[in-house]
Amino acid sequence: MQVLAAMSGGVDSAVAAARAVDAGHEVTGVHLALSPQPGTLRSGARGCCTIEDAGDARRVADLLGIPFYVWDFAERFDEEVIETFVGEYAAGRTPNPCVTCNEKIKFEALLDKAMALGFDAVSTGHYARLAIVDGAPVLRRSADPDKDQSYVLASLTPEQLRHAMFPLGDSHKSEVRAEAERRGLAVASKPDSHDICFIPDGDTAKFLESRLGERPGTLVEESSGAVLGEHSGVHHFTVGQRKGLGIEAPAPDGRPRYVLDIEPVSATVTVGSAERLGVTRIDADRAVWPSERVPVGPTECVVQVRAHGGTAPAVADCDGESIRVSLREELRGVAPGQTVVLYQPDERGDRVLGSGKIADTGR
């Protein structure tokens, strides 16, 4: 097959590309330039897509003996990922930019261009297992539970998954680093990137402030309705947040307060006790079913609402476009704008049933 290997400059995508070559595919490497003014060097594990990363990817491609290109997706990334991220926070929701990036950039913009150029598939360094069974994709958690990335891939369509390859799905991270060392790849010990790639200093509040400015509002105690203070914008908060609330007076019982609700129109942030964070109902829209099979009737499943968050058993009712999840155990800090992913355990591990954007929660 003609395979386009997305190469970020890290160890995972490097080994994934090498495995695609070993499998006998005709591989071409591509690095995505996602910033019009990329930084020269990374700062430890912060950020990605720097000039250094492009150079690291090129050196791996040279070692593998494959063609290599840099494609400029900066404008598309800004429109689809950064502007969406900013807009969601302004609307009082909590987005996951990695989900958006995988959906809109790596498996929409990149895959569309790859298909137009005659490639059969796009290979990435994601940790997830993918198989085609009776013509339908089956997406599962990776063999390494600590690195599993099926959550951020669960919004991909069946057609996108039919043209995807995840060569690392059956491996653990330690095995990937050891393989990179054996292959003589200079990125073998390169640290993983963390945080949000377009906010390399990790200061999300400062970044949002630079885009949205100040939008003053009030902090209100849920139980009493008392105004506890003022804030400079709802974009500084997310449901479940405890630190940085700017409230001087302690709660009457001395326990910490948490953000319970964000109302962007009135710029009201409601806070209260940790016990009030628990939800047992999640309503989601924009549902995607990677295997093309929409569950019929109440379906037992396990749900996950954050990329590295916990899971909870649940029953899901679906009508194709929307999902109502009834949790058998409380989940705390579930925020509108997050992605809820439905898994169904079987003999081969957790299989992705579908995903949706959280629109509302309740008890």
How many CB atoms are closer than 10 A to CB 248?
Answer: 7
Active-site residue among 48, 49, 197, 318?
197
Helix (H, G, I), strand (E, B) or coil at 298: coil
What CA–CA distances, in Å, run from 265 to 13, 216, 270? 42, 11, 13
- Cα dihedral 36, 198, 286, 358, rounded to 10, equals -160
Catalytic annotation present for 48: no
- Contacts of 159 by beta carbon, 8 Å cutoff, 6+ apart: none
* Cα 145 to Cα 127: distance, rounded to the nearest angstrom: 9
Active-site residue among 48, 49, 98, 101?
101
Give buried/exposed letters for 214-232 (b at 16+ CB in 10 A, else e).
eeebebbbeeeeeebeebb
At 217, which helix (H) or strand (E)? strand 217-221
* Cα 339 to Cα 324: distance, rounded to the nearest angstrom: 13
Q: What is the DSSP string of 342-357?
A: EEEEETTEEEEEEEEE
* Cα 36 to Cα 127: distance, rounded to the nearest angstrom: 28
Give buried/exposed letters for 153-176 (b at 16+ CB in 10 A, else e).
bbbbebebbebbbbbbbebbbeeb
Q: What is the DSSP string of 100-139?
A: HHIIIIIIIIHHHHHHHTT-SEEE----EEEEEETTEEEE
- Contacts of 243 by beta carbon, 8 Å cutoff, 6+ apart: none
Helix (H, G, I), strand (E, B) or coil at 358: strand
Residues annotated as catalytic (active site), given as ranges = 101, 197
